[in-house]
Copies of this chain bind each other. A is one copy, B any other.
Amino acid sequence: MARVNDNYLKLKAGYLFPEIGRRVKAFTEANPSAKVIRLGIGDVTEPLPPAIVEAMHKAVDELAKRESFKGYGPEQGYDFLREAIAKNDFQARGCDISADEVFVSDGSKCDTGNILDIFGLDNKVAVQDPVYPVYVDTNVMSGRTGEADGSGRYAGLVYLPCTAENNFSPSLPTEKVDLIYLCSPNNPTGATLNKETLVKWVDFAKKNDAIILYDAAYEAYITDNSLPHSIYEIPGARECAIEFRSFSKNAGFTGTRCAYTVVPKTLTGTTSSGERREIYPLWMRRHTTKFNGVSYPVQVGAAAAYSPAGKEQIAKLVGFYLENARLLREGLQAAGLTVFGGVNAPYIWIKTPGGQTSWEFFDTLLSKAHLVGTPGSGFGSCGEGYFRLSAFNSRANIEEALSRATKLLK
């Protein structure tokens, strides 16, 4: 009798974004003439940089000729890309990360879920609250939690509240934890962890023999020079952290698909009998057995992000979205809202006005201003009363959205 994985039955109704999709669909079907502007899902809108397009065309042409055809590549990614990543994203910032510690993948969403494969089910897992739902859901699916309570919190997980009161920077856990997800610049709050704070986290992890799963998918949006781009800028992080990065939000790869995970060779965990083991060969085994590498033209495109032209074009692209974020932040503040984030991040985190719940504000914005955002409560119980807007859009849409929101809030 084929048995299903009962853990899936613990998952609360639909993943956040499908639920938003359902509500928007119902609204647009009932109001076909409404011009809905979507600031919900954090999806880029601007075309791929020309340097990347050119590189991808060349790579497709290589696949068209026998002498340059590429079959299976290394599962971990081609050296040309791993080396460009190690050099530009890490070594250039003084981080001691080598190319063979970089594992190229098709997405950070996949990586942050898949990484759990190599860890025992008995690890105590800490997440920020609000949190990117994939961290939580993949832990539920793999059986590291009990049932959810009324607020949507799963038994067994340690939730680290991030609210205006602590400036969206979580306190160190007061109980023993083994795996800690940190996301900076943060999705959904747009908050960033500064060096002093990250030092505290690295020290905590080392002292408690915990591993930090550091999601830096929005690293490109950091404009403040004092902020760390990588956790490996912190001494000791090679002994306690895995870092996730993506080409989605800097190079516009949400539909093109490329990301990477850094697993330092100096990172260790223990077996159930207390023996110390390197994490690196476990992830290597997982990645080579359950994955077959990223599409060749996509890897060539990603590598072009590090060419001089690519870098310049990406800086412009990121600058464009950051200007959107500035307009949203300042415009909504002027309209009377309390607004966080949007400085070193593409996300604006709003305190919902008039004591509305997050979903009430969602429905208000959708029905009265035809704007779609993301309810903060969808990211966790501490997100209740907050609302996320994304700066990924055309300038015209951002301006129109601001004008509608301002009218609504008058």
Are B134 and A289 in contact, with the CB atoms below 8 A? yes
A22 / chain B contacts, CB cutoff of 8 Å = none
A71 and B248 CA atoms in complex are apart in Å by: 9
Question: Which one, A116-124, A149-157, A226-234, A400-408, is touching chain B?
Answer: A116-124
- Report the interface size for chain A: residues with CB under 8 A from the other chain: 83
A410 and B119 CA atoms in complex are apart in Å by: 53
For A18, A60, A65, A279, the residue with the greatest tally of chain B CB atoms inside 10 Å of its CB is A60
Instruction: Judge if A178 is at the interface, Cβ distance under 8 Å.
Output: yes
Are B45 and A66 in contact, with the CB atoms below 8 A? yes
Are B57 and A69 in contact, with the CB atoms below 8 A? no
* From B6, B137, B252, contact of A120 by CB (8 A): B6
A154 and B211 CA atoms in complex are apart in Å by: 31
Instruction: Judge if A166 is at the interface, Cβ distance under 8 Å.
Output: no
* From B2, B3, B60, B66, contact of A56 by CB (8 A): B60
* From B6, B61, B118, B296, contact of A8 by CB (8 A): B118
Shortest CB distance A174–B (Å):
17
Q: Which residue of B lies closest to A282 (CB)?
A: B8
Instruction: Judge if A298 is at the interface, Cβ distance under 8 Å.
Output: yes
A residues adjacent to B (C-beta < 8 A): 1-6, 8-9, 11, 15, 18, 41, 43-48, 50, 53, 56-57, 60-61, 63-66, 69-73, 106-107, 109-110, 113-114, 117-123, 134, 137-138, 141-142, 178-179, 208-211, 252, 254-257, 269-272, 277, 279, 282, 285-286, 288-298, 394
